[in-house]
Amino acid sequence: MPTVLFIFGIRFFFYPNDHEPIHVHIQYQGKSAKIQVCPDIMLVENNGLKQQIIKKAIEAVVFYREDIIAEWHKMFDK
């Protein structure tokens, strides 16, 4: 599971068999969530993360959106 970004102690990654729409998984202190990146940025799933961590993660996805999309295409457009 390649790490795309590590910021605020939050790991952003893809699973090798991920599917569209483009999204990123996040992990923080043993808890996880999934954030859709395209077409719109939104929380898809939350498995126990506090709202403040989700907020930071979404802010990071907004800021690094183009980088996340580029990494997605590198990994899955074969």
Confidence at residue 54, expressed as pLDDT on a 0 to 100 scale:
98
Bridge partner residues of 31 (DSSP): 28
Question: Is 41:60 a contact under the CB 8 Å cutoff?
Answer: no
Cα separation, 21 vs 46, in Å, equals: 17
- Give pLDDT tens digits for 12-59: 999 998 999 999 999 999 999 999 999 999 999 999 999 999 999 999
Locate 56 and state its tokens. Answer: 């930071």
What SS3 class is residue 60?
Answer: helix
At residue 74 the predicted structure's pLDDT band, cuts being 50, 70 and 90, is very high
Confidence at residue 77, expressed as pLDDT on a 0 to 100 scale:
87
For the chain, give every domain's residue range.
3-76
**Would you say residue 1 has pLDDT above 90?**
no
pTM of this structure: 0.94
Locate 21 and state its tokens. Answer: 């729409």
